[in-house]
């Protein structure tokens, strides 16, 4: 990939990686791999569906405390928090991974290990991220270095699905002194996400009178038909490829099997749409609800009787945002990824993402998101797996980023100086 970093960030990276203490820490993290994998297994077996992270949060908070962090606690929003105290001469850096998974209770009983591959729902997303933070923290401790700035380690709640990045949002809302953020989420440590894909998720209900499918035919409009008209209109939308924009009607429900011969009084659709541009996201929002109103008007006019009405409920509302591809954090991440990846030529930039980092980027905070593994591992799938080989590489990358962001007391400046 043809990507050039600034002389300032290149020099900082060279200065940091030349320190013998840093090399000692990198070596330590590689040797820490078995310990990190054991923690990953332990945490995976503590099931943690979105909105039910309490047990895992307690376990993770204890691990942060056991590693010597200060002020370890579970905040009012379910986040497990611990503070690495700097010397007070640098920025305050957040590093986080989310504690929740998309899987309901009962999905995980025990992690299965075969031929150095771990198998379990949630073994990667984002339990691996939690283990990465702990290994990076042990590397920092092993280096013997002190940072200029504080580093806040957080296991966040409610990232997935209807959680709508809620733990991260609440944490940033109540910690306005954060200067930059690093997230570990997903599979690929070679992939760098620096743009924020905004998204919205809605439920829309269509209402009519309802009646017998035969006896009431022609006497009333059908809310299910209105919903179908709306979906058909949305399905024909054209959206730009760049900035990447998507839409999906993901749920369509009305009636039940017992009422198969009925005109339903209510129909429901759920949908989400996304864009890397806030302007386009807002425009798409308006287009969708215009189509819904048109569909209701058309179904009402078709029969000339009854009036189809609708209401909506929003589940997720995450802003889009972007930052310069040559922002210091992005350049530093590129260099760290190139050093730690098995093949530097495979380091790449993602075209946005819907992750906790959105909440930082949307606020104008420097932020990157990297993955915790080396290949696509069927995240959000019951067959999710994690290959152990090279697992130390992501915590090495995270530790280097933390040192460059917070600054090393008496040795190197922060990238933000």
Per residue in 323-346, pLDDT tens?
999 999 999 999 999 999 999 999
Give the confidence band of 353 by pLDDT, cuts at 50, 70, 90.
confident
Average pLDDT over residues 43-61: 98
pLDDT value, residue 35? 98
User: Model's pTM, two decimal places?
Assistant: 0.89
Of 158, 91, 189, nearest to 359 (Cα)? 158
Give the confidence band of 114 by pLDDT, cuts at 50, 70, 90.
very high
pLDDT value, residue 115? 92
Give the confidence band of 257 by pLDDT, cuts at 50, 70, 90.
confident
Pick the CATH number of 7-196+321-406 from 3.40.630.10, 3.60.70.12, 3.90.1720.10, 3.20.20.70: 3.40.630.10
Per residue in 215-233, pLDDT tens?
999 999 999 999 999 999 9
Give the confidence band of 109 by pLDDT, cuts at 50, 70, 90.
confident
Per residue in 124-142, pLDDT tens?
999 999 999 999 999 999 9
Per residue in 367-416, pLDDT tens?
999 988 777 678 889 999 999 999 999 999 999 999 999 999 999 999 99
Average predicted confidence (pLDDT) for the chain: 95
pLDDT value, residue 81? 99
Q: Do 183 and 397 meet the contact criterion of CB atoms below 8 Å apart?
A: no
As to burial, measured by CB atoms within 10 angstroms (0-12 exposed, 13-18 middle, 19+ buried), residue 400 is buried
d(CA 289, CA 286): 5
pLDDT value, residue 188? 77
Residue 373 tokens, joined? 């593994």
pLDDT value, residue 329? 98
Give percent above pLDDT 90 in the chain. Answer: 88
- Domain made up of 198-318: CATH architecture: 2-Layer Sandwich (3.30)
Residue 285 has pLDDT above 80, yes or no: yes
Let me know if the fold of 7-196+321-406 is the same as that of 198-318.
Answer: no
All structural domains of the chain with their residue ranges: 7-196+321-406, 198-318
pLDDT value, residue 369? 96
Residue ranges in 315-356 assigned as alpha helix (H): 328-340
d(CA 103, CA 126): 12
pLDDT value, residue 351? 79
Q: Do 354 and 318 meet the contact criterion of CB atoms below 8 Å apart?
A: yes
């Amino acid at each position: 990939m043809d990507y050039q970093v600034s002389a300032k960030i290149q020099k900082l990276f060279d200065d940091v990686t030349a320190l013998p203490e840093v090399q000692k820490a990198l070596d330590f993290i590689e040797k820490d791999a078995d310990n990190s994998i054991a923690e990953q297994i332990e945490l995976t077996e503590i099931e943690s569906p979105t909105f039910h992270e309490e047990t895992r949060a307690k376990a993770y908070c204890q691990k942060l405390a056991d590693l010597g962090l200060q002020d370890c606690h579970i905040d009012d929003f379910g986040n497990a928090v611990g503070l690495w105290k700097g010397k007070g001469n640098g920025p305050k850096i957040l590093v986080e991974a989310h504690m929740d998974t998309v899987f309901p209770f009962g999905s995980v009983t025990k992690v299965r290990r075969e031929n150095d591959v771990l198998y379990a729902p949630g073994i990667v997303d984002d339990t691996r991220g939690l283990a990465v933070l702990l290994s990076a923290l042990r590397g920092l401790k092993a280096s013997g270095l002190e940072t200029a700035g504080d580093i806040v380690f957080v296991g966040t709640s409610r990232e997935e699905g209807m959680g709508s990045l809620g733990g991260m949002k609440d944490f940033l809302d109540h910690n306005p002194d954060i200067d930059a953020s690093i997230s570990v989420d997903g599979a690929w440590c070679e992939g760098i996400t620096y743009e924020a894909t905004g998204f919205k998720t809605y439920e829309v209900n269509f209402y009519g009178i309802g009646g017998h499918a035969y006896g009431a035919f022609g006497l009333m409009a059908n809310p299910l038909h209105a919903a179908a008209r709306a979906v058909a209109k949305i399905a024909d939308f054209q959206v730009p490829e760049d900035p990447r924009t998507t839409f999906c009607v993901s749920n369509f429900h009305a009636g039940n099997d017992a009422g198969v011969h009925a005109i339903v009084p209510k129909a429901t659709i759920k949908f989400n749409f996304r864009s890397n541009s806030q302007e386009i996201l807002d425009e798409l929002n308006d287009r969708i609800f215009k189509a819904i109103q048109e569909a209701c008007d058309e179904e009402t006019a078709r029969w000339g009787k009854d009036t189809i009405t609708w209401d909506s409920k929003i589940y997720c509302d995450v802003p889009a945002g972007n930052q310069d591809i040559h922002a210091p954090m992005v350049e530093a991440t590129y260099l760290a990824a190139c050093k730690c990846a098995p093949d530097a030529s495979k380091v790449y930039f993602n075209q946005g993402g819907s992750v906790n980092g959105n909440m930082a980027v949307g606020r104008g905070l420097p932020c990157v998101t990297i993955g915790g593994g080396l290949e696509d591992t069927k995240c959000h799938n019951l067959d999710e797996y994690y290959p152990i080989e090279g697992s130390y590489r992501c915590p090495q990358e995270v530790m280097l980023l933390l040192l460059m962001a917070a600054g090393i007391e008496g040795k190197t400046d922060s990238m933000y100086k």
